[in-house]
Amino acid sequence: MGNNLSLSEPFADTSGALLSPEDRLNSIILGVAWIGSLYGIGMIWCAVELIKRWAGPHGERDIGPVSICAALLLSTGWPVLILYLMRQER
């Protein structure tokens, strides 16, 4: 038992390995795409929450195209908008 635990051949150390320039660029593009996707999801969620808030608790007020455009425009700053909505819900 334990005879096969030691390496009989040299082990390649890859701790100093770097990404090639193409892989580095692709990793940056992928990260930006993920962040952009999450930001877009946040914008859509905040726009829907604003429209629901403006429509009233039972949807008694009409929401027109101008309200939808205003909600989309205001949702671009969704991190601040989430804090506002959380504070107003109390």
* Local confidence pLDDT in tens for the 90 residues of the chain: 555 566 666 767 676 667 788 888 999 999 999 999 999 999 999 999 889 888 988 888 888 999 999 999 988 888 888 888 888 765
CB atoms within 10 A of CB 69: 11
90 located within any domain = yes
Domains contained in the chain, number: 1
64 located within any domain = yes
**Are the C-beta atoms of residues 45 and 51 closer than 8 Å to each other?**
no
29 located within any domain = no
| pTM across the whole model | 0.66
Instruction: Give the residue numbers spanning the domain of 76.
Output: 42-90
51 located within any domain = yes
63 located within any domain = yes
79 located within any domain = yes
- With H, G, I as helix, E, B as strand and everything else as coil, classify residue 12: coil
